[in-house]
Structure 1
Amino acid sequence: MHLHKFSCYDNFVKSNMFGAPEHNSDFGAFKHLYTLLVNAFNLSQNSLLSKNMNVWNKDSTASNCRSSSYTANGCQGEKERTCENSDESAMSFYPPSINGASFTLIGFSKGCVVLNQLLFELKEAKKDKNIDAFIRSIRTMYWLDGGHSGGSNTWITYPEVLKEFAQTKIIVHTHVTPYQVCDPMRSWIGKEHKKFVQILGDFGMQVTSQIHFAKEAPSIENHFRVHEVF
């Protein structure tokens, strides 16, 4: 455990012994994220379809029910009984599908390394038609006060990587606090953040940047409070 802090995202990005990311272009973060979402949508579909089928079966039985009665001459006859449909939406319900959905990706603190890894993989990932369609469905990405144990690449500043990213037309929001970008012991973080925003802007990407609690002393408490204000 480095500096009494440790977290890793080995299913998305390779890290060294200190937990700092070692980015590359083919680790498979996009594929893993896409597969997780496909499985999540399938589970929700199966669950909702199962519930909907139970409702439909009950409605079908209710709408076809009959009550027996006896006529005046003593012969048994059938009298149609009107039954309420307990759920009129049952026949027209469609469960959610990943096709046609839109997504917002959010990374916080060390978790921003996952978003950064996605940027490194972008060019290669587009070669897979399913992943390419998924990338096109991502509308917005949020970087929330990113930081990690390494001494660089807290924010991605490689023009060739960011140029590829800018072509996606994804809207980018960055929200930071003095805890990360004003730390004199980690001065590269603030510099990289500014460069990240500047380069994306130069490439014509829609990007916003906001620093929160700027007039307050840097603190881990405010670092976590960024969840409340972004």
Structure 2
Amino acid sequence: MLTIRSVAVSLSLFAVAQTMSVAAGPSTESPRCCLSTAAGARPGNSPQLLRLTAVPGYEQHRVNDILLLSPATGTARLGGSGSKAASSENAHVVFFPGDIQNFQQEMALQPEAAQWQSWSLERVALVLGLRFPGHHVWIIRASRMYLHKFSCYQNFVESNLFGAPEHTPDYGAFRHLRALLGHGMERAGLPNPLPPLGSTAVPAPLPPGFSLTVVGFSKGCVVLNQMVYELSRARADPELKLFLDCVSDMYWLDGGHPGGSETWVTDKQALGELATSGVSLHAHVTPYEVRDPMRAWVGREHRSFVQTLEELGACLSHKLHFEDEPASIENHFRVIEVF
């Protein structure tokens, strides 16, 4: 089991955060921060955190800050546990965080967020780096943080002030993610970045060995849900179909948002598209979300999501973590360590 302490050895992430770029402009140069992950690690073998600010998506007004953890040299051919696709120099993981999660430096300045710094974007990146060795880990910061704690993924799904979604079949979540990753790879100087959308009359091939795992935690699951609603139209788009064919796994980690419904996708037509997509699906939950008597619909929707996908023959794994422990926000966050 991965723990926060295991990834924090020999590392002061607050110091790292202070040295990272916080400029809002789309500079093509961002400072790199080398992170020692083990005693005696050779220079050049440690992973690197790189903060990219105001990375554009497929529309000019859709921009997101991104944190990239590049794998340590020499791990690119290792296999990540639980992932269908073998790791390669073009294996990528995208993570959408939940409420309160932000860059370490910014969380330290907010009284309500400071106590949850163990789950800052930087620390989560390191946890995921161990969970998916040899992968590039992309942490997508919500485009808006209302009152410094309510994450809003407006660039991916129509949302209210508190980040509760209103799903539609054509908002452009896949197109935004595809463009965001392409621009991010260019900004980070990675070899073989994704080609720009619409750059040729015939869809340009993707880089050799490109694979993608998508992970949503808590509020971040609204992005995955939006992708499910968009699957039918996205698969009909030749350019996006190439991208979708490279998605190996999707992980829902204890999804939740302040709306009164649609915490989990229950629409059978949308789930039918998901079941036939060939993507390996994973649902990991805790009592904090699915056993809350004040939000009983979350548990009902989760059961419907799992049952429907199983009936449709989807490649699905699911698990309730900490089921014998009292529901707590601490265990809600810990699902990031144990999934």
Tell me the TM-score normalized by structure 1. 0.74
Q: Give aligned-pair identity as a percent.
A: 53
In the other structure, the counterpart of 2:152 is 8
| 1:195-222 deviation line (CA, Å, top 9, x unaligned) | 1011111111011110111111111000
Q: 1:102 to 1:33 in 2, by over 3 A?
A: same
How far apart are residue 18 of structure 1 and its match?
3.7
Q: 2:179 aligns with which of 22, 29, 35?
A: 35
Q: 1:155 aligns with which of 235, 256, 264?
A: 264
How far apart are residue 223 of structure 1 and its match?
0.3
More helix by share: 1
2:166 maps to a residue whose letter is E
Number of residue pairs aligned between Structure 1 and Structure 2 = 182
Q: Which runs of 5+ in 2 are unaligned?
A: 1-144, 193-205
How far apart are residue 4 of structure 1 and its match?
9.5
Within the alignment, does 1:102 sit opposite 2:246 as a pair?
A: no
Which of 1 and 2 has higher RCO (CA within 8 Å, sep 6+)?
Answer: 1
Q: Is the 8 A contact 2:152 2:162 kept in 1?
A: no
Within the alignment, does 1:227 sit opposite 2:319 as a pair?
A: no
| 1:6-33 deviation line (CA, Å, top 9, x unaligned) | 2110110111244210000111100000
How far apart in 1 are the matches of 2:146 and 2:329? 17
In the other structure, the counterpart of 1:200 is 309
Within the alignment, does 1:21 sit opposite 2:165 as a pair?
A: yes
Question: SS of the counterpart of 1:185?
Answer: helix
Mapping of residues 49-198 of structure 1, within 5 Å: 98-198=207-307
Q: 1:10 to 1:98 in 2, by over 3 A?
A: farther
Q: Which runs of 5+ in 1 are unaligned?
A: 50-96
| 1:27-49 deviation line (CA, Å, top 9, x unaligned) | 110000001122233345x4659
1:191 maps to a residue whose letter is R
How far apart are residue 3 of structure 1 and its match?
11
Question: SS of the counterpart of 1:7?
Answer: strand
| 1:116-136 deviation line (CA, Å, top 9, x unaligned) | 000111111122211111111
Q: 1:48 to 1:152 in 2, by over 3 A?
A: closer
Q: 1:48 to 1:33 in 2, by over 3 A?
A: closer
Superposed CA RMSD in Å reads 2.1
Q: Is the 8 A contact 1:169 1:206 kept in 2?
A: yes
Q: 1:187 to 1:5 in 2, by over 3 A?
A: farther
Q: Is the 8 A contact 1:37 1:98 kept in 2?
A: no
1:141 maps to a residue whose letter is M
